[in-house]
């Protein structure tokens, strides 16, 4: 459900990971010559969490324009595929 504690905590974690990615990936790309094993493992964990986020979004109910909550999985999946799915799938691919 959109207002569940799990969904709120999950969205906060993903937001923090996005902020980290937006700040530190360009910094490391520009100024750090080599990656340590720790940074590689950490970045792999972040990529994995972004991939898990795709699955979470496929099963997360959402609020429609008329303020009702859609809980049917087929409709949730179709709505997600029409909205953020492509951006999410491309952005979670490790480079």
- Structural domain count, the chain: 1
Which residue segment(s) compose the domain that 60 sits in?
5-91
Model-level pTM? 0.82
Q: What is the pLDDT of residue 68?
A: 93
Which candidate, 86, 88, 87, 94, places its Cα nearest to that of 56?
88
Q: What is the pLDDT of residues 5-48, one digit of tens each?
A: 999 999 999 999 999 989 988 998 899 888 889 988 998 899 89
Contact 56, 4 (CB under 8 A): no
Encoding tokens for residue 49? 């969490």
């Amino acid at each position: 459900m959109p207002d569940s504690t799990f969904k709120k905590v999950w969205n906060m974690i993903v937001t923090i990971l996005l902020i980290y990615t937006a700040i530190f990936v360009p910094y490391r790309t520009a100024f750090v010559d080599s990656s340590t094993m720790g940074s590689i493992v950490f970045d792999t964990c972040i990529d994995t969490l972004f991939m898990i986020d795709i699955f979470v979004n496929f099963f997360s109910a959402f609020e429609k324009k008329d303020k009702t909550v859609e809980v049917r999985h087929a409709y949730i999946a179709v709505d997600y595929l029409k909205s953020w799915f492509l951006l999410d799938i491309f952005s979670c691919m490790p480079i």
